[in-house]
């Protein structure tokens, strides 16, 4: 069984460009969470999505960041007009939604570097 798949694993962008990070949850999982880990810091919750719905986006920056989880296809975290401070590891996690937090599985992360 494939785990949570994220791509690209590494992404380099220049300031002002757009970054798109994709996450395919584990088979049978319909709940997706995005977290960001800045250098030397802990993971910070960004957004929680179910298919076609944003459930909780309380951790998303107010501007330039958006997320979606369409009916078909992966969840996408989109960062417009990237700045150097966006350089971080972005982790996606998925769950079935019927268990507890212990059933959250993380992908290997996408590392964004903004030049």
Partner 1 sequence: RKEVEQDPGPFNVPEGATVAFNCTYSNSASQSFFWYRQDCRKEPKLLMSVYSSGNEDGRFTAQLNRASQYISLLIRDSKLSDSATYLCVVNAAGGTSYGKLTFGQGTILTVHP
DSSP string across the chain: ----EEE-SEEEE-TT--EEEEEEPPTT--EEEEEEE-TTS-EEEEEEEETTEEEE-TTS-SSSEEEE--SSS-EEEEE-S--GGG-EEEEEEEE-SSS-GGG-EE---EEEEE-
Please tell me whether residue 51 binds partner 1 under the rule CB under 8 A: no
Which of residues 6 and 82 has its CB atom nearest to partner 1 in the complex?
Answer: 6
Please tell me whether residue 108 binds partner 1 under the rule CB under 8 A: yes
Taking CB under 8 A as the criterion, the residue among 75, 79, 107, 114 binding partner 1 is 107
Please tell me whether residue 95 binds partner 1 under the rule CB under 8 A: yes
Please tell me whether residue 11 binds partner 1 under the rule CB under 8 A: no
């Amino acid at each position: 069984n494939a785990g949570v798949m994220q791509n690209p694993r590494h992404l380099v962008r220049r300031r002002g460009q757009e970054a798109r990070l994709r996450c395919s949850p584990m088979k049978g999982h319909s709940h997706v969470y995005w977290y960001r880990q800045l250098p030397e810091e802990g993971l910070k919750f960004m957004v929680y999505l179910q298919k076609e719905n944003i459930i909780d986006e309380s951790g998303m920056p107010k501007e330039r960041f958006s997320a979606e989880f369409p009916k078909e296809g992966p969840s996408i975290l989109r960062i417009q007009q990237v700045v150097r401070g966006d350089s971080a590891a972005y982790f996606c996690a998925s769950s079935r939604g019927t268990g507890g937090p212990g059933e959250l599985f993380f992908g290997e992360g996408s590392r964004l570097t903004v030049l």
